[in-house]
Amino acid sequence: MMTAVPRIALATPATGPEPSTAGLAVLAGLTARRWRIQHFRSRACPTTTEVVADATGLPERHLDTWLMPPNVCRSLFVAGARAASLGLVEGTLDASLVPSLCGGDLRGLTRILDLPIVSVLSLVGADPGACHLPRIPEGTEAVILDGLSSDDQIERYRRLIRLTCGLPVVGAVDLLPGARSAVEAAARGETRLAEDVIDALGSSFLRHADLKAFAALATSRVDLNRPQQPGGCGREAGPPGFRVAYAHDDAFGCYFPDTLEALESLGAELVEFSPMRDGALPDGVDLVMIGCGFPDLHAMELAANFSMIAALRQHVCRGQRIYTEGGGTAYLGRSMIIDGQTVPGAGILPFDAELVANPTAPTPVVRTLLRDCWIGPRGAQVRGYKSGRWNLRPSVQPFECPSCFGSLSRDDDLYFRHHAVGSLIHLHLGALPEVVAAFAGPHRPSLKRPSTVGLSQDQEVGDEDDQD
C-alpha cells in the first residue's frame, strides 16, 4: 500500500546540541503556523529532555540504520508520521567523522525513505562582513542559514548560494545568544525549555522562511510503500488481560514511543506508576518496565519509598517479570553510589550501581546472551546503546543461589535475578520484534537446556538449574 508522507531530512552540523537550535526553530515556527510536525532523530538514543515535545506537542521518535533494517525504518517512519503534516528526520550527514555520533546514519535514511535534504549552514562565529560559504553537504536541495547577525547577511548569502550552487535558501535563524544558551542547557537535561525561548526561535525562523518553497520540497517525493507494521500482524498476541506497568515520574520516563505502541499492538494494556510516589504496583500487572531517567537526582525519595520497594520484590518473588534500562537498572541494584555517598536501592539485582563522575554519550554495542532468559535464548545477540552514566559492580550475598541471579553478558552490563532483567543497554524494541513478543507472550516458568551448537566451550555457562 502506498502512503503519502510529506517529509524532509534536516542535515545539521556534527557539533552542538541535539536537537539543534535551528531544528527547534523550524519545529517551533511550523507548529505556530499549525503544521503538525513529527520529529525523528537519526540515532535511537533515548532523549533525556522534552525539548521537542515542548516545541511541537508531540514526543520525539527515533530511527536508526545501525539498529534497524530498511523495512523497519520505513515502518516506524510511516507509522509515526501518518497523523502529521510533516515528518522531519534530523541528524548529521557526517556522523562517521565524529566518534561520539557512531551508530545511526542520516545519509542512509535519506536513501531508505527518499528524503529531500535541507542542510543547516552555521554562521555562528563567522565574520558578519565576510561572505565565506560553509561547506554544503552533497545531495543538498535547499539551505537554512543559522546564526544571522544582521538582516543584510541573509541577502548576501542567499545570492552567493544561488550563484555558486543554484540552491534556494528556505529559511534562517537569527543569532539569539540567550535562546541558544537555553537550548544547550535543555539538551543537557539541566532545565526545561521556556515558552518564551520557543516563541523567539519560531518567530525568528518564520521571519526569514519561504514556507511555500519548504512545503513544495517536502511534498516533492513519491508516496512511500508502507511495509508491515513491526509490532502488529503475523505475531502471536499476548494473553487476555496482559498488563504492563511502566514507571513515569520525575525520576524515570525515557521510553521509545514505538516500544509502547508495539506492546499495545500485541494486546497489552499499559498503565503508568511512580516508584517515587506510589505505595504499590497497579493491580494485576504481568510485566513491570522501569526505563532510563535520573534516579540520582531523586535517590533519597526513591530509597524512602519502602512500600514500592517491597512491592517490586514481591513481584519478582511471585515469578513475575521486570525489565529495566539505564537509570532504572541502577535503581534495582543493592545500592546507588552517588558522589561517594551510598544510597540503598531496591535490592533486587546483584550489583552496586556507581554514578560516573564524567558521563559519556551512549555508545553502540553488541552483546551475546550468556544464558537463557525470557528476552532471548543463550547465544542470541542484542544490540543497542550503552549508557555512559553508570558502572555496575557485582555484589553477591553468600546465601544466594548462583543459578537464580548473575550477569547475562561478559561485560557485566546485563543482569538478571529470577525473572527480573536489568540492562545498561538501551534497546529500541521496535527493531527487536522477537523481544517485544517475549514481553507480551505467555509466561514460562523455565526453559529447557538449550543447544550449545555454535558456542565455544567457555560460553557453556548454564546448567540444568538455569532460570529464564
Check: CB of residue 143 under 8 Å from CB of residue 161.
yes
Mean pLDDT (whole number) for 315-344: 95
Phi, psi of 293 (to 5 degrees): 170, -150
d(CA 21, CA 181): 9
For 196-215, write each residue's pLDDT tens digit. 999 999 999 999 999 999 99
Secondary-structure breakdown of the chain: helix, strand, coil percentages, each rounded to the nearest 5: 30, 25, 45
- pLDDT higher than threshold 80 for residue 1: no
The mean-pLDDT minimum among 3-7, 156-160, 322-326, 328-332 falls in 3-7
Tell me if residue 428 falls in helix, strand or coil.
coil
Q: How far apart, in Å, are the Cα atoms of 245 and each of 60, 167, 321?
A: 21, 50, 11
Give the DSSP letter of residue 132.
P
Q: How far apart, in Å, are the Cα atoms of 111 and each of 216, 339, 422, 438?
A: 19, 46, 35, 32
Check: CB of residue 302 under 8 Å from CB of residue 295.
yes
Provide the pairing of β-strand 292-293 with 252-254.
Answer: antiparallel
pLDDT of residue 226: 60
Tell me if residue 332 falls in helix, strand or coil.
helix
Q: Would you say how long the chain is, in residues?
A: 468
Q: Which band of pLDDT confidence, cut at 50, 70 and 90, is reported for residue 354?
A: very high
Q: Which band of pLDDT confidence, cut at 50, 70 and 90, is reported for residue 462?
A: very low
pLDDT of residue 118: 98
Among left, alpha and beta (phi > 0; psi -120 to 50; other), residue 150 is beta
Mean pLDDT (whole number) for 65-86: 90
Give the DSSP letter of residue 393.
E
What would the CATH number be for the domain defined by 7-219? 3.40.50
Domain layout of the chain by residue ranges: 7-219, 242-439
Q: How far apart, in Å, are the Cα atoms of 186 and each of 50, 278, 304?
A: 8, 28, 29
Q: Is the dihedral of CA 355, 356, 359, 364 positive or negative?
A: negative
Peptide bond into 19 cis (omega under 30): yes
* Domains 7-219 and 242-439 agree in fold: yes
Fold of 242-439: Rossmann fold (3.40.50)
Q: Which band of pLDDT confidence, cut at 50, 70 and 90, is reported for residue 101?
A: low
Check: CB of residue 370 under 8 Å from CB of residue 459.
yes
- From the list 386, 384, 371, 343, the residue with the least C-alpha distance to 447 is 371
Phi, psi of 137 (to 5 degrees): -60, 150
Name beta bridge partners: 439. none
Q: pLDDT higher for 230 or 32?
A: 32
For 145-182, write each residue's pLDDT tens digit. 999 988 888 899 999 999 999 999 999 999 999 999 99
Check: CB of residue 419 under 8 Å from CB of residue 322.
yes
d(CA 430, CA 74): 12
